[in-house]
Amino acid sequence: MFINITDSKEANNKGSSGGLVHYLEKENRLAPKQKVEHWFNGQRSEIRPYEVVIKIDNNIAKLGRSDAKFFLVNISPSQKEIAFLKKQYGEHGAKEQMKEFAASVMDAYARNFNRDGICRHQDLVWFAKLENYRYYGYNDPEVKQGIRIRGERKEGEQMHVQVIVSRKDATNKIKLSPMNTSRGKNAEHSKKMGQFDRVAFKQSGESLFDRKFGFNRQLKETLAFANVQKNGKLMQRQQLDVLAKAASRNYQSRSVAKELAQGVSQRLFVNTADMLADTGKSAADFLKIMLEPSYTAGTDLVPEHLRKKAKKKSKGQQITR
């Protein structure tokens, strides 16, 4: 699951939303015989493009000429996730499920600001458009190499949702910027000024998808795993390697490994022994699994010195959730 918030440079969001709305209508223009995909917002499902422009462009009280007026949230399931939805719900059903999922993502978007009165998608002004395809652009390597033509459809499952969300809340009084990562001088100041953890928001989308649809995500398919592989230090990658090996055993160990991987991504553990022993009941359960004989003869998931350290640290320790 890939969720991204487009910045002002790409979204051209300091003026009217008309240009972006027109662009996102491209499939309705390019494929007139295909069923029209209407705009939706969790409350209505057949919203006209002009309504989107009017609502977004008029919700800008006290915003200056150079201020961002809206943001673009891209909700893109993987091809594996799309195939899973279509198998479970069929072509049409998968689209409807994605629309419901988008509303849940916008609930998470609202809560991520940690602002009083901003806790669900109804507190925002937002409109979404489901798209069935993606198209090659001039930046794609295939276009640069002459293999593909700009504007040509990409192969495979490409269903995704684009969301335009206003900078101001539904009352047109509160400024909400997902680009503001400041924690403020203190907790009260942060409440007043607003804050947004984009990594936590992306993680919430992944977790929402798995819970809502019962998707059995592998550890290596998680955002936490990708973040550590890309940006993690040696110790984090070593911790992740231990989790990856254990996650292959059964569903229980995989579930706990995914939970611990988020802590690894946030650099919560000094070393592997701390990861196994110091994170509460779930880690204790996982430690028990890790210390059991491997299902494959001759395979050791945890080196001997780490097992001894983990046993020593956990001995006499009362584990509570």
Going from the C-alpha of 114 to that of each of 29, 41, 177, 208, 248, the distances in angstroms are: 39, 21, 12, 18, 37
* Angle 238-242-248 from CA coordinates, rounded to 5°: 140
What does the pLDDT read at residue 317? 44
Q: Are residues 184 and 275 in the same domain?
A: no
Give average pLDDT by consecutive 10-residue segment, the chain, 321 residues. Answer: 77 88 91 85 96 98 93 96 97 96 97 92 98 91 92 93 97 92 57 74 93 91 88 85 75 74 82 68 55 44 46 45 36
Residue 321 lies inside a defined structural domain of this protein: no
The C-alpha atoms of residue 75 and residue 63 are separated, in whole angstroms, by 27
Residue 72 β-bridge partners: 6, 164
Residue 207 pairs with which residues in a beta bridge? none
Residue 265 within any structural domain of the chain: yes
What's the whole-model pTM score? 0.80
- φ, ψ of residue 6 in degrees (nearest 5): -80, 135
| CA distance linking residue 73 with residue 60, whole number of Å | 18
Number of structural domains in the chain: 2
Is 228 found in the same domain as 142?
A: no
Instruction: Based on the fold, state whether residues 228 and 154 are members of the same structural domain.
Output: no
* Together in a domain, 224 and 93: no
CATH number assigned to the domain comprising residue 14: 3.30.930
Are residues 143 and 223 part of one domain?
no
What pLDDT score was predicted for residue 229?
86
151 CB-side CA count, 13 A:
4
pLDDT of residue 286: 58
Q: Are residues 279 and 309 located together in one domain of the fold? A: yes
pLDDT of residue 301: 42
Three-state DSSP at 125 gives strand
Q: Are residues 159 and 200 in the same domain?
A: yes
Q: Same structural domain for residues 203 and 62?
A: yes
Q: Tell me how far apart the alpha carbons of residues 219 and 152 are, in angstroms, rounded to a whole number.
A: 33
Residue 189 confidence (pLDDT): 54
Q: Are strands 70-76 and 124-131 parallel, antiparallel or unpaired?
A: unpaired
Looking up tokens 């584990």 gives: 319
| Plot region of 302 (φ>0 → left; ψ -120 to 50 → alpha; else → beta) | beta
Residue 307 placed within a domain: yes
Q: How wide is the angle at C-alpha 51 spanned by C-alphas 176 and 45, nearest 5°?
A: 90
User: Is the residue at 109 inside a domain?
Assistant: yes
Q: Is residue 320 assigned to a domain?
A: no
Domain boundary among 175, 191, 209: 209
- Residues spanned by the domain of 11: 2-209
Residues 6+ apart with CB under 8 A from 93: 85
Residues 281 and 168 placed together within one structural domain of the fold: no
Q: What pLDDT does residue 121 have?
A: 98
Together in a domain, 199 and 223: no
